[in-house]
Amino acid sequence: MATICRPAIAVPENVITMEETLEMAKQVHSGSPQLPLALRLITNTGVQKRHIIQPLERTLRHPGFETRNKIYEREAKRRVPPVVQQALANAELTARDIDAIIYVSCTGFMMPSMTAWLINTMGFRTDTRQIPIAQLGCAAGAAAINRAHDFCVAHPRANVLIVACEFCSLCYQPTDGDVGSLLSDGLFGDAVAATVVRGEGGTGVHLERNEAYLIPDTEEWISYDVKDTGFHFRLDKRVPGTMEPLAPVLKDVVRRQNWDVQNLDFYIIHAGGPRILDDLCKFLGVAPEEFRFSRTTLTQYGNIASAVVLDSLARMFAENAVTDGARGIIAGFGPGITAEVAVGSWTVHESEFHFEEKLAEAAAI
């Protein structure tokens, strides 16, 4: 059994609103012939605000790739530990209980991985497995859940910590004026998320099946150009249309579980943008309200890359409306074009269930 417990999320203190984003784009990219189209696309994202690790005026500067990567390392070491501590508390475990750490990020680079620093700094055992994932982009959050599930199947009763650390603002390139770059400037935000997949016990989504799929010959549709100035994000105009070929994949995964994708109780979907969510609703035959957790993540935080599915999952926990046995799907999409899909059902750990019963009984007396 592998159960994904309640995630912990933290976003930086610096906030940029939709209005500030549009004004910034007009000032910095006033000479770009693509600006009018980009402004319309940014407005249509519905992203009301995003959080970034540096104030806007510093974000807009480019001190060089070396300096930016040092900022990534410094901020990751400052911001990740509190989120990890909360995720461990949510799962009612300690660092010593963790058997593997999966660390996902596509916005900075460290070697040794951040996993080594966490083990040395936060009291994890020295035999903890390290599984860093750096090149799956936005799909990495769902991929991490699936690899944690696989690990727990291979190692019964093991516990896996997942950490997603995405500082997308460090990838801002002031000289890039193409539509894809301008749109990404108004879409992506920064966040740190963590969760624990317990091999035994825990309240959350009991993971029952996971699969992956890659759309052939789409490697260049979402990519990085790696230059002296760092990571330059490239987004092909065909990307928003990928939900049509991916929807049947999600249907098949659910059908192999003997479930119906139109009649699930919850949907945790990567919020790459509003069209991704709208098209997937249409092709799956699901009401837009069913994607409310993902839509709220997009509206309040923007596209926070691999952290999206964890934040959306945390919102479902916070709503506290899922009942024992409820069935659902988790899906992330990213470069490749890659889809990582998991299905599972809500489970309440027996000891926690009895504890809640006792609380209810005490309140009734």
Q: pLDDT tens digit string along 161-189?
A: 999 999 999 999 988 888 888 888 889 99
For residue 240, pLDDT beyond 90: no
Cα separation, 1 vs 63, in Å, equals 48
Q: How confident is the model at residue 35 (pLDDT cuts 50, 70, 90)?
A: confident
Give the active site residue among 5, 106, 138, 168: 138
Is residue 352 predicted with pLDDT exceeding 70?
no
Q: Give the class (CATH, top level) of 3-198.
A: alpha beta
What is the DSSP secondary-structure string of 229-281? Answer: TEEEEEE-TTGGGGHHHHHHHHHHHHHHTT--GGG-SEEEE--S-HHHHHHHH
The overall average pLDDT reported for the chain is: 92
* Whether the predicted pLDDT of 30 surpasses 70: yes
Q: At what angle do helices 292-301 and 308-319 cross, to 10 degrees?
A: 120
* 257: nearest Cα among 333, 337, 199, 341: 341
Active-site residue flag, 138? yes
pLDDT value, residue 350: 67
Q: Is the pLDDT of residue 139 over 80?
A: yes
> Residue 32 — pLDDT band, cuts 50, 70, 90?
confident
pLDDT of res. 355: 41
b/e sequence 142-172, b meaning 16+ C-beta within 10 Å:
bbbbbbbbebbeeeeebbbbbbbbbbbbbbb
Omega cis (within 30) before 112: yes
The number of C-alpha atoms within 13 Å of 136 and in the hemisphere containing its C-beta is: 25
Q: Per-residue pLDDT averaged across 225-240, rounded? A: 90
Prediction pTM value: 0.93
Over residues 52-97, the pLDDT tens digits come to 999 999 998 899 999 999 999 999 999 999 999 999 999 999 999 9
Domain boundaries, the chain: 3-198, 205-350
Residue 268's DSSP bridge partners are 330
Interatomic CA distance for residues 194 and 104, integer angstroms: 10
Instruction: Convert the pLDDT of each residue in 182-212 to its tens digit.
Output: 888 889 999 999 999 999 999 999 999 999 9
- Asked if residues 311 and 141 have their Cβ atoms less than 8 Å apart, the reply is no
Whole-angstrom Cα distance, residue 192 to residue 185? 19
Residue 133: pLDDT band (50, 70, 90) is very high
DSSP-assigned letters across all residues of 326-365: -EEEEEEEETEEEEEEEEEEEE--HHHHHHHHHHHHHHH-
Q: Does domain 205-350 have CATH number 3.40.47.10?
A: yes
- Contact between residue 285 and residue 267 where contact means Cβ atoms under 8 Å apart: no
> Is 205-350 in the same CATH topology as 3-198?
yes
- Asked if pLDDT for residue 268 goes beyond 90, the answer is yes
d(CA 12, CA 75): 10
Q: What 8-state DSSP symbol labels residue 138?
A: G
The pLDDT score that the predictor gives to residue 1 is 78
Q: Which two tokens stand for residue 307?
A: 């952290």
